[in-house]
Structure 1
């Protein structure tokens, strides 16, 4: 299996996992509505599961599912400059992102590992397990932006095409 096929397969599995998390969150939300408003029997663990899944969906999705060309940008200035300047802007912003996450990573790690002392109220899930996705997200952002910066500096000039996957 080629590297691009493997990457495509892993990308689809990440999307599948994100969809599964969304489905579970939706079903738990429906259960919460049913139990609270129809049975008049509120259950607290459903709120915990919904909140935990929301955290995981946002960070997992940003780390592994959202592509670079799908991110929201304010590109009024970016579109008004030459392709060479765009590449420079992309490289500088990628470098700043890498630097920010790399500097923050030890503090992120410390905070997440410190949270092992706390547990959720109903399910008794340790908060370090819950927030471990934040460490994964930070590392993924570092790697992604190293690649974006590398592409901006050494890759082919694709800034004028405007095609998905180009260094925009």
Structure 2
């Protein structure tokens, strides 16, 4: 089931990239070929980019694809790596968990504002950050659990069947 959900998360990310690319091409054609620019395409592309980055980082990115200081991390012994993973994972879980109520409060507050051209409510636009934050809490809690129990930390990501 987790693997199937991971594939659907990848599908959503792919659709966002395609939509962004099509809007970008439409913007170029209408601006430079037809000399009749569309204002909404830039906003749409930006929204797809923001959603794609946060959706992808939260639900599609695998643990081994995350940015790390590989020179330092790679030189560590396995036991030290486990301690480092437990400490950093605990910090990430604590920070995201601590900030989550304020994030949800801010996102729900933004329902009063709308985007300039598409008229989308900003709470819907920013809701992807709540998804990202929850995914980071779950992902790093699993990393902590794996490091404490001695299981391999460089396994599959949240979306790929952790």
Same fold, judged at TM 0.5 (above):
yes
Shift of 1:85: 1.0
The answer to which structure, 1 or 2, has the higher relative contact order (CA under 8 A, 6+ apart) is 2
Indicate conservation of the 8 Å contact 2:82/2:150, yes or no: no
1:27 aligns with 2:17: no
Larger Rg: 1
Matching residue within 32, 35, 38 for 1:37:
32
Coordinate RMSD, CA, aligned: 1.4
What is the number of equivalent residue pairs in this alignment?
156
Measured against aligned partners, the alpha-carbon deviations of 1:54-105 in whole angstroms (never above 9, x if no partner) come to 1100000011100101111112222222211110000000000001101111
Name the SS for the 2:7 alignment partner. Answer: helix
Residue in structure 2 matched with residue 139 of structure 1 by the alignment: 134
TM superposition score normalised by structure 2: 0.91
- Any runs of at least 4 consecutive aligned residues in structure 1 with deviations exceeding 4 A, and if so which? none
Residue in structure 1 matched with residue 159 of structure 2 by the alignment: none
Unaligned runs of 5+ in 2: 157-162
Residue in structure 1 matched with residue 148 of structure 2 by the alignment: 153
